[in-house]
């Protein structure tokens, strides 16, 4: 169910990322002050935008879960937040490298975006421990959704608070596309699109993989029959929605038995 | 068979409890809040579980700060930092204990069976935490002034305003975090882990508003911008807590 369109999505992602990287390295002009280092902007800023949007989208999926109580929404919320967390970590690392390159320090407290990003990252880093420490699946989904909604609303609130707290604002020459020269703006938008596609593809892969794993587990249990083995120790905090429709399980189980 | 038993298909998701929706709350919200608040305060007066611990923690932390900073007096930004770090961590102690007795002794089950709006519990717990924080500060702030000889007697009204706004924020966010963390296995760990990032904006606002007040020859108020920010944060998270709290109480 989740695997449909995965190949087309993957191919378009590869093409888009290749195009974006080509534009970044061969088309976009070198920035006058920072030179080659400024190219990290085409990676860092899109990653930051995507991960923040991902956090908020995870909150929206969580609202959908609480409204419908359909555990697929919870799985989507989990996957989105999980992937956003990875992107956020990449954002922090690339931001740190950029800060070291252009300001000479790995970490700059006077840059509000960096600081608020760190706070948001720290908050979402507790999402997985929260899920892990709740046993009951239904309650886990419910509590994780409440967390996702609260944290999703916290993202903009936190950015406003931290932005207010910094007197010195880093000149945001590269902050928006409006004051970028044409080729740079075009490259930035293509890069944003490419990394967004990458995000969506990775989310879809994770959803598909999780779903396949649940199906596999359900089939194993069926094969084991009455003397079902104890459930394997869970290594992921991912929600476990319904392990697929029964008829699909029966079909594949039949194939497995004949071999 | 076991596969079918153990897995619940999406279509079989548990519907929202129709029973709770069907019967209208028989007791007005504020009556319920008053009763719950009286019960909370009576329990606290009899067990003395949270507030003395929080106050003692704050006092010990000031002593630790004295030795860690190697100072007999602090002022300005340093004093602000000492005060807010201490108050924040002492508050988290109270947050961790806020729902534990109810969850362990069946108070939540009893509440869910009562024909009252669930918001009553949220409001009552927020007010309880607010009371704890006020008592904590009645102890901690004078002790702070005495132990670390902070010059702020002239700015007391402004400081009280900042403290009140920050307390509201801590109470609102802390209650939500406490309700989230209490049903988990690692509740003592998750409470502070969830609470600290969520309270960073409160600390920003409170610290920026406090630091000009803790300077000897200070002039001017705490800065309306920071007070407005604190108030706005309190409001936003009050609404969020109101919106999501019901979902934490469904079993």
Instruction: Give the chain A residue nearest B248 (alpha carbons).
Output: A143
**Would you say residue B12 has pLDDT above 60?**
no
- The structure tokens 């900042």 sit at B162
Contact between B159 and B210 (Cβ < 8 Å): yes
Q: Provide the pLDDT for residue A249.
A: 39
Contact between B192 and B182 (Cβ < 8 Å): no
Of A110-119, A202-211, A227-236, the range with the highest mean pLDDT is A202-211
Q: What percentage of chain A exceeds 70 in pLDDT?
A: 80
Instruction: Give the chain B residue nearest A243 (alpha carbons).
Output: B7
Of B3-17, B77-91, B216-230, the range with the highest mean pLDDT is B77-91
3-class DSSP state of A31: strand
- What mean pLDDT is predicted for residues B96-118? 87
Distance (Å, whole) CA B83 – CA B62: 8
| A219 contacts on B by Cβ (under 8 Å) | 3
- What mean pLDDT is predicted for residues A227-246? 57
* Chain length of chain A: 259
Distance (Å, whole) CA A255 – CA B186: 43
Question: Pick from B227, B190, B202: which is nearest to B87 by CA?
Answer: B202
**Greater model confidence, A116 or A3:** A116
Q: Provide the pLDDT for residue A258.
A: 37
Going by pLDDT thresholds of 50, 70 and 90, the confidence category of residue B143 is very high
Q: Provide the pLDDT for residue A235.
A: 63
**Greater model confidence, B120 or B26:** B120
Nearest to A243 among B1, B3, B14 (CB): B3
Contact between A98 and A33 (Cβ < 8 Å): no
Question: Pick from A176, A153, A3, A32: which is nearest to B198 by CA?
Answer: A153
Q: Provide the pLDDT for residue A42.
A: 87
Mark yes or no for CB contact B184/A143 under 8 Å. yes
- Express each pLDDT in A34-73 by its tens digit: 777 788 888 888 999 999 999 999 999 999 999 999 888 9
User: Cβ-count burial of B68 within 10 angstroms (0-12 exposed, 13-18 middle, 19+ buried)?
Assistant: exposed
Q: Provide the pLDDT for residue B129.
A: 95
Distance from CA of B99 to the nearest CA of A (A): 15
- What mean pLDDT is predicted for residues A90-112? 84
Q: Provide the pLDDT for residue B109.
A: 86
Question: Pick from B225, B200, B203: which is nearest to B80 by CA?
Answer: B203
B150 touches chain A (CB under 8 A): no
Q: Domain spans of chain A?
A: 6-211
**Would you say residue A169 has pLDDT above 60?**
no
- What mean pLDDT is predicted for residues B110-116? 86
Nearest to B7 among A136, A165, A242 (CB): A242
| B240 contacts on A by Cβ (under 8 Å) | 149-150, 153
- Express each pLDDT in A239-258 by its tens digit: 765 544 433 433 344 333 33
**Greater model confidence, B169 or B2:** B169
User: Cβ-count burial of A70 within 10 angstroms (0-12 exposed, 13-18 middle, 19+ buried)?
Assistant: middle
**Would you say residue B55 has pLDDT above 90?**
yes
In sign, the C-alpha dihedral spanning B64, B69, B71, B77 is negative
Mark yes or no for CB contact B244/A150 under 8 Å. yes
Q: Provide the pLDDT for residue B84.
A: 94
List strand residue ranges (DSSP E) for chain B, in order.
none
Q: Provide the pLDDT for residue B10.
A: 41
- The structure tokens 């400081």 sit at B159
DSSP-derived letter for residue A233 is: P
- Express each pLDDT in B152-199 by its tens digit: 777 888 889 999 999 999 999 999 999 999 888 888 889 999 999 999
Give helix B76-97 / helix B156-182 axis angle, nearest 10°: 30
- What mean pLDDT is predicted for residues A27-32? 76
Going by pLDDT thresholds of 50, 70 and 90, the confidence category of residue B137 is very high
Distance from CA of B126 to the nearest CA of A (A): 17
**Greater model confidence, B22 or A127:** A127
Q: Provide the pLDDT for residue B5.
A: 39
Distance from CA of A100 to the nearest CA of B (A): 25
Q: Provide the pLDDT for residue B156.
A: 84
| B15 contacts on A by Cβ (under 8 Å) | 69
Going by pLDDT thresholds of 50, 70 and 90, the confidence category of residue A146 is very high
- Please tell me the number of Cα atoms within 13 Å of A125 on its side-chain side: 12
Q: Provide the pLDDT for residue A251.
A: 39
- Residue partners of B185: CB distance under 8 A and separation at least 6: A133, A134, A135
Mark yes or no for CB contact A143/B6 under 8 Å. no
Q: What is the number of CB-based contacts under 8 A between chain A and chain B?
A: 124
Which of A63, A126, A158 would you mutate first to test chain B, the one with the most B CBs within 10 A?
A: A126
Q: Provide the pLDDT for residue A241.
A: 59
User: Cβ-count burial of A114 within 10 angstroms (0-12 exposed, 13-18 middle, 19+ buried)?
Assistant: buried
Instruction: Output the average pLDDT for chain A.
Output: 81
Going by pLDDT thresholds of 50, 70 and 90, the confidence category of residue B71 is confident
Question: Pick from A10, A166, A239, A255: which is nearest to B7 by CA?
Answer: A239
Beta bridge partners of A35: A31
Q: Provide the pLDDT for residue B61.
A: 94
Q: Provide the pLDDT for residue A79.
A: 94
Instruction: Output the average pLDDT for chain B.
Output: 84
Mark yes or no for CB contact B2/A122 under 8 Å. no
Q: Provide the pLDDT for residue B83.
A: 93
Distance (Å, whole) CA B228 – CA B165: 9
Kindly state the tokens that stand for A127: 């999402």
């Amino acid at each position: 169910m989740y695997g449909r369109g995965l190949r087309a999505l993957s191919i378009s992602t590869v093409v888009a990322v290749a195009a974006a990287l080509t534009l970044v390295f061969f088309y976009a002009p070198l920035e006058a002050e920072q030179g080659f280092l400024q190219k990290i902007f085409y990676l860092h800023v899109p990653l930051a935008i995507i991960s923040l949007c991902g956090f908020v989208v995870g909150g929206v999926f969580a609202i959908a879960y609480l409204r419908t109580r359909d555990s697929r929404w919870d799985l989507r919320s989990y996957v989105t937040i999980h992937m956003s967390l990875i992107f956020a970590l990449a954002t922090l690392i690339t931001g740190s490298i950029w800060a070291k390159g252009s300001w000479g320090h790995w970490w700059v407290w006077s840059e509000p975006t960096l600081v608020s990003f760190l706070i948001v990252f720290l908050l979402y880093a507790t999402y997985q421990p929260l899920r892990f420490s709740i046993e009951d699946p239904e309650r886990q989904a419910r509590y994780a959704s409440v967390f996702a909604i609260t944290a999703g609303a916290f993202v903009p609130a936190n950015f406003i608070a931290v932005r207010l707290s910094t007197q010195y604002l880093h000149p945001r020459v590269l902050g928006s596309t409006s004051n970028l020269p044409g080729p740079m703006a075009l490259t930035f938008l293509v890069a944003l699109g490419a990394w967004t596609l990458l995000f969506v593809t990775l989310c879809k892969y994770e959803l598909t993989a999780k779903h396949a794993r649940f199906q596999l587990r359900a089939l194993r249990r069926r094969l084991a029959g009455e003397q079902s083995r104890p459930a394997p120790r869970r290594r992921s905090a991912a929600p476990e929605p319904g392990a697929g429709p029964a008829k699909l399980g029966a079909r594949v189980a039949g194939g497995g038995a004949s071999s | 068979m076991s596969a079918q038993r153990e897995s619940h298909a999406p279509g079989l998701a548990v519907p929202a409890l129709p029973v709770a929706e069907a019967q209208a709350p028989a007791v007005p919200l504020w009556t319920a809040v008053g009763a719950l608040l009286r019960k909370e305060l009576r329990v606290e007066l009899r067990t003395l579980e949270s507030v003395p611990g929080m106050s003692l923690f704050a006092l010990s932390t000031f002593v630790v700060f004295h030795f860690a900073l190697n100072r007999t007096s602090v002022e300005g930004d340093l004093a602000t930092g000492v005060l807010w770090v201490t108050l924040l961590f002492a508050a988290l102690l109270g947050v961790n204990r806020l729902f534990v007795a109810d969850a362990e002794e069946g108070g939540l089950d009893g509440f869910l069976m009562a024909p009252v709006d669930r918001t009553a519990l949220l409001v009552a717990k927020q007010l309880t935490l607010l009371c704890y924080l006020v008592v904590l500060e009645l102890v901690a702030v004078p002790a702070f002034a005495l132990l670390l000889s902070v010059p702020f007697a002239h700015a007391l009204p402004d400081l009280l305003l900042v403290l009140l706004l920050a307390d509201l924020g801590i109470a609102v966010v802390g209650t939500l975090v406490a309700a989230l963390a209490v049903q988990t296995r690692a509740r003592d760990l998750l409470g502070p882990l969830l609470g600290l990032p969520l309270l960073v904006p409160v600390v920003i606002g409170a610290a920026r508003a406090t630091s000009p007040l803790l300077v000897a020859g200070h002039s001017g108020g705490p800065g309306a911008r920071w007070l407005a920010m604190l108030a706005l944060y309190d409001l936003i998270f009050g609404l969020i807590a109101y919106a999501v709290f019901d979902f934490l109480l469904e079993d």
